[in-house]
Structure 1
Amino acid sequence: MTDDVSLSALWHEVTGTQPDPEQWLIGATAAVALLAVLTGTPWRLLRNAVTIAHEGGHALVALLTGRQLTAIRLHSDTSGLTVSRGKPHGPGMVLTAAAGYTAPSLLGLAGAWLLASNHITALLWGAVLLLAAMLIMIRNAYGVLSVVLTGAAFFLVSWFAGPDVQAAFAYWSVWFLLIGGVRPVQELQRKRARGRAPSSDADQLARLTHAPATLWVFLFYAVSLGALAGGATLLVD
């Protein structure tokens, strides 16, 4: 009976709603996230979180389109690689290749919707579950370390921190994904302009679809900026 009560209480806590945070906290977390994205050292450290979302997007869409996911690798230079088996062309491959640069922004938009619905705890626990699922497919030590540390941060905050700290961490995380989802697209375009990214997602999509790689970069921009605008509206409203 005690276990049933405990599980029921935990489920109620996860699926229940929490009070709206103060407006100053929402603005402060947005400012801190923006600073983290725009400054050198914090971005180099925290960009791993964006890479996790990027590779997670590839992996999820690969599974949804019927491809066989075989490995995910995360590297210390914040690059990553997701390997799946299936037809080397067709809609499934196109969607899988397109999912990477759009995933962080779309994940941030989904998080903004949860926060706008006052589901702060659900967002934190959802992040833990997604990271745990991704950990199963990680195939290198640095990738395991990155995912475990990120998941541990969400778990510790959700389990031990008070409501104000949970709200601040959740809002900062969502702002970081929304704002941080734009910068990798900018970095991609700069690398392509210098001829340093011949095998980028945009170039792979160009070979798959015969549409210019620049058009795919524009699509990545449109999704990331649209998600930022929509997410900001949800969070501030």
Structure 2
Amino acid sequence: MAANSFSQVWQDVFSVQPDPPLWVVIATGAVALLVVVSGGRVWRVARNVVTIAHEGGHALAALLSGRQLSGIRLHSDTSGVTVSRGRPDGIGMIVTILAGYTAPAVVGLAGIILLTAGRITGLLWISILLLAAMLLLIRNVYGVVAVVGTGAVVFAVSWWTPSAVQSFFAYLFTWFMLFASVRPVFELQSQRRRHPSPHSDADQLARLTGVPGTMWVMVFAVFNLAMVGLGVWLLLFT
């Protein structure tokens, strides 16, 4: 009985679902863009999800490059820090730092690939599993609240809402991650001008590579904008 139930859940989660009407795709994209551009209270709350992806990118890159991951801390001002141990220089450290500002765009594009394959519920459950894995690495109370809260929202949508609501939420979430990847890059450069710090990702990369920090900000911006363009093309023109 339990095996049959598990099999049914697995089938429901990873079954192919029909594409929503085009107006849903466009409307969710417009709402996501409005949230990012407005910079209001909704953006400040939703930005926590971007920080989760940012720090998750650092963490995954650290593990893949052979560094020892110590933990992740998320803060109420939507900043965060991922601590890993290993060589203080070299390609592993460069990749680890580089992954932060590019991770939200990668998450957004990966979501779009799943959506175009009709794996709407699958996208939501993969997100839950990734959040659960990240929770094991969180080392402060606010971080736990942010990750658990995000996971609870995604779980509630995936478990208790009809497919139309899941589809709307999945497209909104994916568009948001894609568009929201760009704004923090410009915020980074603005902060570097107002309050120069050797601890920003761009300035750490500058120290490690000899390439000016502003150039690394441009790399982040070009990469994320390219992901946005590719995502728009995949969702609207293919």
Does the CA contact (< 8 Å) of 1:192 and 1:198 recur in 2? no
Q: Distance in 2 between matches of 1:28 and 1:198?
A: 41
Aligned residues with identical type, % of pairs: 57
- SS across alignment from 1:82: strand
The TM-score with structure 2 as length reference comes to: 0.97
Q: Deviations over 1:178-220 (max 9, x none)?
A: 0000000010011112234431000000001111111111110
Deviates more, 1:67-76 or 1:191-200: 191-200
TM-superposed CA distance for 1:55, in Å, is: 0.2
User: Which residue in the other structure is 1:133 paired with?
Assistant: 133
Q: Distance in 2 between matches of 1:234 and 1:155?
A: 26
Q: 1:54 aligned to 2:54?
A: yes
Q: 1:91 aligned to 2:91?
A: yes
| Amino acid of the structure 2 residue aligned with 1:50 | V
Q: Distance in 2 between matches of 1:163 and 1:216?
A: 41
Q: Deviations over 1:25-74 (max 9, x none)?
A: 11110111011111221111110000000000000000011111111000
Deviates more, 1:3-12 or 1:180-189: 3-12
Q: Distance in 1 between matches of 2:55 and 2:197?
A: 17
The runs of 5 or more residues in structure 1 that have no matched partner are: none
User: Which residue in the other structure is 2:123 paired with?
Assistant: 123
Q: Distance in 1 between matches of 2:196 and 2:18?
A: 48
- SS across alignment from 1:189: helix
TM-superposed CA distance for 1:232, in Å, is: 1.2
User: Which residue in the other structure is 1:223 paired with?
Assistant: 223
| Amino acid of the structure 1 residue aligned with 2:17 | Q
The TM-score with structure 1 as length reference comes to: 0.98
User: Which residue in the other structure is 1:33 paired with?
Assistant: 32
- SS across alignment from 2:87: coil
User: Which residue in the other structure is 1:149 paired with?
Assistant: 149
Q: Distance in 2 between matches of 1:232 and 1:7?
A: 35
TM-superposed CA distance for 1:8, in Å, is: 1.0
Mapping for residues 105-120 of structure 1, pairs under 5 Å: 105-120=105-120
Deviates more, 1:168-177 or 1:12-21: 12-21
Deviates more, 1:187-196 or 1:149-158: 187-196
Q: Distance in 2 between matches of 1:102 and 1:75?
A: 20
TM-superposed CA distance for 1:163, in Å, is: 0.5
Q: Distance in 1 between matches of 2:162 and 2:233?
A: 26
Q: Figure out how many residues of one structure are paired with residues of the other and give that number.
A: 236
